[in-house]
Structure 1
Amino acid sequence: MTTSLRVLITGFGPFPGAPFNPTVPLVKQLARLRRPALDDVTITTHIFDVAYATVDSELPRLLATHRPHALLMFGLAARTRWLRIETRARNAMTTIWPDQHGARIRKGAIAGTANARAFGPHVFKLLHAARRTGIDARASRDAGSYLCNYLCWRAVEAADHQAGPRLAAFIHVPALKRDGSAAVPGGMTLAHLVDAGEAMLMEMVKAARQTRL
């Protein structure tokens, strides 16, 4: 019997300065997709609280429970008007902004190792897939120094282990209004993000299948 491909899709909840996080409805809509190419794919979703302790406790549990072959993560970059496909995680943490639970980091690095951890060449396939939907998508080398970057680091760290996901990717999305309309005239809508998200999910599934050959 062929084991189904497993994909974990994550987003983040609201955080200080962002009472609405569009990754929540985006993740929900991607989970509802019904496509022939996804017939043998088990999709699990999760929304993280924007808190370091939450990521540290919930990510390992999710990976151990669902054992995903691919991890597709979304976060909000409120000041960016395009889709940002992150290519790496930086070994950096902000000491200025507290997380949703009020925790404030006292050191500016995640670990005492490399300056950055790369996701891998598959992220550029996701970039091209997103662009084919007609939206503005760009590669990014800077995931910030807040929870999105922290999750990036922990995800790449997990993917480096044999028992972890084979592939991981993180995409920053722009802000939206609560009704899914664009936050700025001519900007992206939730429908745009879902189209691009579907294209990237399909590419992620294809890449994960290739790693199983």
Structure 2
Amino acid sequence: MSPSHVAARPARILLTGFEPFGGDGHNPSWPAAQEAARTLRAQGMDAVAERLPCTFGGSTEALEQALTEHRPGIVIACGLAGGRAQVAVERVAVNLQDARIPDNAGCQPAGRPVDDAGPAAYFSTLPVKRVLAALDGARIPAELSLSAGSFVCNHVFYEVMHRAGARGSSVRRAGFIHLPWDERAPRRAADAEPWPTLPAADLARALVIAAQEAARPASGVPDLEIPGGALY
């Protein structure tokens, strides 16, 4: 059979989440990534999940290992944004490490680049507006975000996009999604408002929807041509 008659192999999807950080005992990004990968596999898609350490150096090493081992076509990294009430589909990774708190290895860079020779920023190659529309359709609170911060989440987002654009990379679409707390959000001080939360099932479902949209053929138009910016 000629190559033109052989069905293209579906792209492998790599989902990453983080270990807990900042003294918390839970990080909803990791169970969400695991559950999303299980759901995608049950749907017949090729999906794997990997947990990354919440450290600047360690996350880079773990990411490189995962990319080498799995050779994914799609990468969706995710992390916790405690305080946000919605799933945040990130659009821009910036070349900046500026940590408000130390990472889990005690590293706290201030105003350093992720890559001394890298560009100032990378844009997600996920169809972010299609993802947002699909999340809205599924009644999962979601928003487009123009900042992934300057901690380890942004660091991993930048590293993913840097490697996705490298020669010989298997990755054709990649990006980052921030998740709010789930039902296991830690308690806050008595005078503080509780953390905004979404059900853990909805967090995993959001990642499944993002992966499905990323795997969908572009049909000549990579994303929806609808406004999605911000005034400030």
Q: Does the CA contact (< 8 Å) of 2:53 and 2:62 recur in 1?
A: no
Q: CA deviation at 1:191?
A: 1.8
Larger Rg: 2
> Runs of 5+ in structure 2 lacking a partner?
1-5, 186-192, 222-232
Cα 1:60–1:121 shift into 2, 3 Å: closer
How many angstroms apart in 2 are the aligned matches of 1:198 and 1:176?
16
* Map of 2:224 onto structure 1: none
Q: Does the CA contact (< 8 Å) of 2:37 and 2:208 recur in 1?
A: no
SS at match of 2:82: coil
How many angstroms apart in 1 are the aligned matches of 2:33 and 2:151?
20
Identity %: 26
Q: Normalised by the size of structure 1, how large is the TM-score?
A: 0.86
* Map of 1:102 onto structure 2: 106
How many angstroms apart in 2 are the aligned matches of 1:190 and 1:32?
14
Alignment map for 1:50-65 (pairs within 5 Å): 50-65=54-69
How many angstroms apart in 2 are the aligned matches of 1:143 and 1:185?
19
Q: Does the CA contact (< 8 Å) of 1:127 and 1:139 recur in 2?
A: yes
* Map of 2:182 onto structure 1: 176
How many angstroms apart in 2 are the aligned matches of 1:87 and 1:144?
12
Q: Does the CA contact (< 8 Å) of 1:166 and 1:208 recur in 2?
A: no
- Return the letter of the residue paired with 1:163: G
Among 11, 36, 39, the residue aligned to 1:33: 39
How many angstroms apart in 2 are the aligned matches of 1:72 and 1:209?
21
> In the alignment, does 2:198 pair up with 1:193?
no
Q: Does the CA contact (< 8 Å) of 2:80 and 2:179 recur in 1?
A: yes
Among 70, 87, 93, the residue aligned to 1:89: 93
How many angstroms apart in 1 are the aligned matches of 2:134 and 2:164?
22
* Map of 1:125 onto structure 2: 130
Q: Does the CA contact (< 8 Å) of 2:99 and 2:109 recur in 1?
A: yes
> Runs of 5+ in structure 1 lacking a partner?
none
Q: Normalised by the size of structure 2, how large is the TM-score?
A: 0.79
* Map of 1:166 onto structure 2: 172
- Return the letter of the residue paired with 1:49: P
How many angstroms apart in 1 are the aligned matches of 2:32 and 2:99?
29
Alignment map for 1:139-158 (pairs within 5 Å): 139-158=144-163
SS at match of 1:5: coil
